[in-house]
Amino acid sequence: MKDGPLDRADLHGRVQKALDTFLDEHQPRLRGVSEDLDVLLDVLRDLVVGGKRLRPAFCYWGWRGAGGADDEAIVTVATSFELLHACAIIHDDVMDASDLRRGRPSVHQQFASLHRGAGWRGDSAGFGVGAAILLGDLCLAWADEMFTASGLPAEALRRARPAYDDMRTELMAGQYLDLLEQARGVGSVESAMRIVRYKSAKYTVERPLHVGGQLAGADTAVLDAYSAYGLPLGEAFQLRDDLLGVYGDPAQTGKPAGDDLREGKRTVLVAMALEQATVAQADVVKRLLGADDLDDAGVAALRQVIVDTGAVAAVEARIDELRQSAVGALRDSSIDVDAHDVLRELAAAATARRD
């Protein structure tokens, strides 16, 4: 995203700086307890360096779009979303037993390696999971600490709290529904889209915009415009992510090729494929998706079948439609015109093909 929307207001660099400042301040506090805690910060620093900063960007531009002036306090609040997201991905990788994240071993795998390398007692995988649960918890608590101690007036924080609280509840709720969907294997397009709405669309786009807007004292018209822009865009973002999980280049996604197929993820893409499949195609999907012995040839076969059902083209069309709907919502909206260009660029960046 070089020269992209995150370079506006130098947001990428300022978010990194705010993260560094926060973690630097906490280092001596943890050291005061024990030097053994250094590793928690080391792992976290490595993880957050790789973030795309989409949620901070939506929070920041939610503020600007409601007439808020640029300052460091809003960047700090926006940065807190990156810590919340760190919790989400650390715990998500534990739940999905994912080995890689952002091109590196996932957090629980890093702690398992630490255990293995040190030759400690007990089960290395169990140690990795335990440490990852705790580091995720710490990130969730720290996100809230950073949000609250940002320096914004108490009255602004009070206004934005309900949106912040709803977002966290919706995130956990969406994650649970996702877990349930994988377990039930029902996989209708409708139920998959409901998960996308809560787990991704609200959490990644709509709520960060709302929080930023509420902090700046946005009126209902602006908040409604954020929903009209944010919900379709967030859905499009997740659909792009679904495609990348199946067809993405590992160098770009930081995950193995076809990772979602090996995990057997019941995404909207898979649900669409199953809805449009012939009996023979559906048999291939059901047999191979998430199969323990799925090899590269199996991944290739699954990819082809999903294309053949027309699901890929359908998802691409849906992404286009959703993005246009999002961008269209900016026109004639009460959102400050200064933010329109960036929100349009963010819509493109969040949904762009990466191939």
Percentages (nearest 5) of helix, strand, coil residues in the chain: 80, 0, 20
Residues 159-188 that bind a copy of itself (CB under 8 A): 161, 165-166, 168-170, 172-177, 179-180, 182-185
Give min distance, CB of 133 to a copy of itself, in A. Answer: 5
Give min distance, CB of 315 to a copy of itself, in A. Answer: 23
DSSP assignment of 195-233: HIIIIIIIIIIIHHHHHHHHHTT--HHHHHHHHHHHHHH
At 14, phi and psi to the nearest 5? -70, -35
DSSP-assigned letter for residue 70: P
Sign of the CA dihedral with 17 first, then 83, 217, and 339 last:
positive
Sole binder of a copy of itself in the list 14, 64, 115, 262 (CB under 8 A): 115
Q: Does 9 bind a copy of itself (CB under 8 A)?
A: no
Give min distance, CB of 122 to a copy of itself, in A. Answer: 6
Q: Does 127 bind a copy of itself (CB under 8 A)?
A: yes
Task: Give the tokens for residue 146.
Answer: 């950073």
* Contact indicator for 244, 52 with CB cutoff of 8 Å: no
Give min distance, CB of 163 to a copy of itself, in A. Answer: 12
Residues in the chain: 355
* Contact indicator for 315, 189 with CB cutoff of 8 Å: no
Choose between 1 and 179: whose C-beta lies nearer to a copy of itself: 179
Q: Does 203 bind a copy of itself (CB under 8 A)?
A: no
Residues 21-60 that bind a copy of itself (CB under 8 A): 26, 29-30, 33-34, 36-37, 40
58-83: buried (b, 16+ CB within 10 Å) or exposed (e) per residue? bbbbbbbbbbbeeeebbbbbbbbbbb
Q: Does 137 bind a copy of itself (CB under 8 A)?
A: yes
Choose between 157 and 305: whose C-beta lies nearer to a copy of itself: 157
**Token match 């398992």: residue?**
112
Task: Give the tokens for residue 36.
Answer: 């053994």
Choose between 10 and 38: whose C-beta lies nearer to a copy of itself: 38
Q: Does 145 bind a copy of itself (CB under 8 A)?
A: yes
Sole binder of a copy of itself in the list 58, 198, 237, 247 (CB under 8 A): 198
Sole binder of a copy of itself in the list 129, 152, 192, 347 (CB under 8 A): 129
The 3-state secondary structure of 225-290, one letter per residue: HHHHHHHHHHHHHHHHHHHHHHHCCHHHHCCCCCHHHHHCCCCHHHHHHHHHCCHHHHHHHHHHCC
Number of residues that bind a copy of itself (CB under 8 A): 60
From 64-72, 143-151, 229-237, 277-285, give the range in contact with a copy of itself by CB under 8 A: 143-151
Choose between 44 and 330: whose C-beta lies nearer to a copy of itself: 44
155 Cβ partners below 8 Å, 6+ apart?
none
Sole binder of a copy of itself in the list 66, 78, 131, 209 (CB under 8 A): 131
Binding site for a copy of itself (CB under 8 A): 26, 29-30, 33-34, 36-37, 40, 87, 91, 94-95, 97, 115, 118, 120-122, 126-127, 129-131, 133-138, 140-142, 144-145, 148-149, 154-155, 158, 161, 165-166, 168-170, 172-177, 179-180, 182-185, 194, 198, 264
